[in-house]
Structure 1
Amino acid sequence: MGTVFYSLPHPVRRRIVRIATPTYTLGSVVLVMDADRTRLLMLKQPPGKRWSLPAGLLNRREQPIEGARRELCEETGIEADFDELVPATPNAVVHTNGRWVDNVFRLVRDPETTEVIVDGHEVWDAGWHPAHDLPEMTRATAKLLSHYGLGPLAEGDPADEPPASA
């Protein structure tokens, strides 16, 4: 079977691979926190009532750090230089069920001096929240934040433990 595949013209082989293999959507997320990492900037976006993070899908041929910078500015009005956006650890979070990959960056800002501007259409509200007491958030946001020890699904959080049997 392999010889037949490799005897096909390259454009045909590429098309077969793209059809037959799983694809992932790529996005960028920015964790905007104060220097002490005690407060996190979160957004409330349509259509839900739960909070999320500054994030969005990458444009074709856009680098993850460029997408992070663009989305941050579009959603919050915060401008960041490329050297201020530091790759988080882990830098990429793979969501296998939804088949997307988030490239995650950290940005340090002072909540007292940072002006956050929301347009009311793409973002309804923005707020700085204590890292130890985050508001109700989307499931995807909770899963992402758990990789950084934050939110209700973070390891060791009592809300993530199974109920005690009677």
Structure 2
Amino acid sequence: MRRRIVRIATPTYTLGSVVLVMDADRTKLLMLRQPPGRRWSLPAGLLNRNEQPVEGARRELAEETGIEADLSELAPADPCAVVHTSGRWVDNVFRLTRDPETTEIIVDGHEVWDAAWHPADALPEMTRATAKLLSHYDLGPLRAADPSAEPPASA
């Protein structure tokens, strides 16, 4: 009985994987537009039962962009997981380096409407969840202020 009560009262989290696909200089980021909205997001998806996060990242990347990556190419980002407490899900985040000039991107038009490389310092309008996730990697509109910037002069 105690175990059942604990299971009912304990919050559960949905697990997913996200891939930050960037060029070698980390100046361009691959982003997707997916239904139902018009805002941009990242290659990502939920894990299947008993699927390892890196395998899920690889699968979702191939399904959504046509980009095939070896498991060894998908490096854990730092931080490697982002917990979204309000939505109760955890994103396992991986980095992948690709050349925007030579990487062929294939979208199906149903699950993904469009995929494009964007300058990392001028990203397009994105979903709130994407903006929050990217802020952990000092990207996007919610990124922390530049720590090397001087504080404003006091009056």
TM-score, normalised to structure 1, is: 0.86
Q: Do residues 46 (structure 1) and 52 (structure 2) align?
A: no
> Please, which runs of 5 or more residues in structure 1 have no aligned partner?
6-12, 158-166
Quick one: distance in 2 between partners of 1:19 and 1:43?
Answer: 36
1:30-69 map, 5 Å: 30-69=19-58
Which amino acid in the other structure matches residue 93 of structure 2? Answer: V
Percent identity reads: 84
Name the SS for the 1:49 alignment partner.
coil
Considering only CA atoms, is the larger Rg found in Structure 1 or Structure 2?
Answer: 1
Q: What secondary structure, in the 3-state scheme, does the structure 2 residue paired with 1:116 have?
A: coil
Deviations 1:4-37 (A, max 9, x none): 83xxxxxxx2x33321100000000000000000
Which residue of structure 1 aligns with residue 65 of structure 2? 76
Structure 1: which amino acid aligns with 2:52? Q
Instruction: State the partner residue of 1:123.
Output: 112
RMSD of aligned alpha carbons: 1.1
Instruction: Kindly indicate whether residue 88 of structure 2 is the aligned counterpart of residue 96 of structure 1.
Output: no
List structure 1 segments (4+ residues) > 4 angstroms apart after TM superposition.
none
Unaligned segments of structure 2, at least 5 residues: 147-155
**SS of residue paired to 2:31:** strand
* Aligned counterparts of 1:100 and 1:110: Cα–Cα separation in 2: 31
Determine which structure has the larger helix proportion and give its number. 1
- 1:134 alignment partner in structure 2: 123
Q: Which amino acid aligns with 2:94?
A: F
The secondary structure found in structure 2 opposite 1:46 is: coil
Match of 2:137 in 1: 148
